[in-house]
Amino acid sequence: MALAVSSKIYFVLLSFLFSFSATAQPYTNVTSGSLITANNANSTWESPSGEFAFGFQQIVPGAYLLAIWFNKIPERTIVWSANRDNLVGEGSKIQLFEDERFELSDPKGQQIWAATLSGVGVAYGAMLDTGNFVLVKNNSVVLWQSFDEPTDTLLPTQTLNQDGRLVSSFSKTNYSRGRFLFTLQSDGNLVSYTRNFPMDEMNFAYWATQTTGSGFKVVFNQAGYIFLVAKNGSVLNVLSSNADSTSQFYQRAILEYDGVLRHYVYPKSANSAGARVMAWSTMNFIPSNICMRIVERTGSGACGFNSFCSMGTDQIPKCECPIGYSFIDPNDRMSGCYPNFAPQNCDEEARETELFSITDMPNTDWPLSDYAHFQQVTEDWCRQVCLNDCFCAAVIYRDGNCWKKKYPLSNGIVDSSVEGKAMIKIRNNNGTTY
């Protein structure tokens, strides 16, 4: 969650606020005519230290993503990509042309993506040790940089300006744009939204700094702090603080596929790791308990339709299917669930009530997907009214209230703070599926 700003932290933030720039890094020039081809040769443009690389990563056999990644760790974690919604085939190229175009083309030479320059006179490109790829004039003026077009990740020395945004990936292994968005709006409010997927529209705000009229820039500084500042440089919100030095730990902040913004660190060497494992570890995250944050009128909630969300001890949301349901895509647990039984017959003379039963799910709710509400009734009455209704998928019972739920069930939550219970209808002799 966002942290209170102590005087000590405030001093550290200000001391690093404007201490970095793209031109402060030594360059390894990418000259006009330079190109990289997507193939098994794995050619890259590396930063001077070799900590970052720019090139193609093979995501699945024969399909590549133009990306920047951490180059000295086994995971080769991606921090930026171009044309992320569509992988490119083997033989695709990224090239800095002599006429100053920086262009991604397919094996037939057709343009797929190109950098939009802020001026003319590109002299060279460079992969910097910050993780920023830049196109630069001879006087070191930056005409384009990857830091200005983030995908889902921020790195130390990077900023997010008004109207800037991070869009989550679709899943752990699918880097295309997903269901969540983190943006500093033009009004200064820093907000996390669900996306009206697959449209590029904001749907439901599930976290915000409430800084309308004052938020100016999100800064991830060299000290490992992430914070929101006003135009005069004053710190409005500290999103994440970190005692680990960027000289000893790789750091990144990523809006992950589950909608949570997490600040990660990774030891650069065994000496800096101390008691930590050589892996990414979470320092901070926002928001807390995303399962309870997302209750939207349209959309599926934190997880997919007909599923429910619960928080693990590791503070990672878990998406599960109710008994009698299966994941639509077992490899994507946010895809939602489907009933693996035939629906109840609505014919008055063959209602099949006796072929179905109700299973209790304590501390469970599917808010906002109800189509009928009854008051001052018993639990048994609530149970039976669902069995008798072919449209009823589940009921929620709490304090004498009974809510009928229809398909698809949305905003599924399991949490100890949820009062009452859900009672879901399944066909008898149906197998249990999780």
The 10s digit of each residue's pLDDT in 113-137 is 999 998 888 989 999 999 999 999 9
- Residue 269 pLDDT > 80: yes
Contact status, residue 41 vs residue 138, Cβ threshold 8 Å: no
Looking up tokens 């000295």, which residue turns up?
72
Please give the Cα distance from 319 to 292 (Å, whole number): 13
More confident residue, 78 or 433: 78
Instruction: Label residue 6 by pLDDT band (50, 70, 90).
Output: very low
Q: What pLDDT score does 276 carry?
A: 82
152 in Cβ contact with 255 (< 8 Å): yes
Query: What is the C-alpha separation between 393 and 333, in angstroms, rounded?
Result: 21
Nearest of 106, 103, 127 to residue 53 by alpha carbon = 127
Determine the pLDDT at residue 200.
85
Across 230-345, where does the E strand assignment appear? 235-240, 249-255, 261-267, 281-286, 308-311, 317-320, 325-327, 337-339
Report the C-alpha gap between 307 and 197 in whole angstroms. Answer: 18
CATH code that applies to domain 7-288: 2.90.10.10
Rounded percentage of the chain residues whose pLDDT exceeds 70: 92
pLDDT of residue 118: 86
pLDDT of residue 27: 56
Closest CA to 403 of 356, 357, 371, 359: 371
> Which residues have CB under 8 Å from 11's CB, separation 6+?
none
Strand segments, DSSP code E, in 83-141 are 88-89, 93-96, 102-105, 111-114, 124-127, 133-136
Asked if 85 and 177 count as a contact pair (C-beta separation under 8 A), the reply is yes
Does the pLDDT value for residue 23 go beyond 80?
no
Q: State yes or no: pLDDT of 367 exceeds 90.
A: yes
Domain ranges of the chain: 7-288, 293-427
Residue 336, phi then psi, degrees to nearest 5 = 100, 175
- Mean pLDDT of the 402-411 span: 98
Q: What is the mean pLDDT of residues 15-43?
A: 71
Q: What is the mean pLDDT of the chain?
A: 91
User: What distance in Å separates the CA atoms of residue 14 and residue 141, rounded to the nearest whole number?
Assistant: 25
**Confidence band (pLDDT; 50, 70, 90) for 430?**
low
CA distances from 60 to 88, 89, 174 (A): 10, 10, 10
Q: Among the listed ranges 113-127, 192-206, 208-222, 266-280, which one has the minimum average pLDDT value? A: 266-280
Residue 8 has pLDDT above 90, yes or no: no
Which residue, chain included where needed, has tokens 């295309």? 176
Please say whether the beta carbons of 293 and 206 come within 8 A. yes
Instruction: Determine the pLDDT at residue 433.
Output: 37
> Would the pLDDT of 431 be above 50?
no
Q: Is the pLDDT of residue 359 over 80?
A: yes
Q: Is the pLDDT of residue 381 over 50?
A: yes
Query: Above 80 in pLDDT, residue 11?
Result: no
Q: What is the pLDDT of residue 139?
A: 84
Which pLDDT band holds residue 28 (cuts at 50, 70, 90)?
Answer: low
User: CA separation (Å) from 117 to 81, 114, 353?
Assistant: 17, 9, 66
Q: What is the pTM of this model?
A: 0.90
pLDDT reported for residue 190: 99
- Ordered DSSP codes for 175-200: -SEEEEEEEE-TTS-EEEEEE-TTSS
Q: Where are the beta strands (DSSP E) in 14-76?
A: 29-30, 35-37, 44-46, 52-60, 63-70
**Residue-level pLDDT at 177:** 97
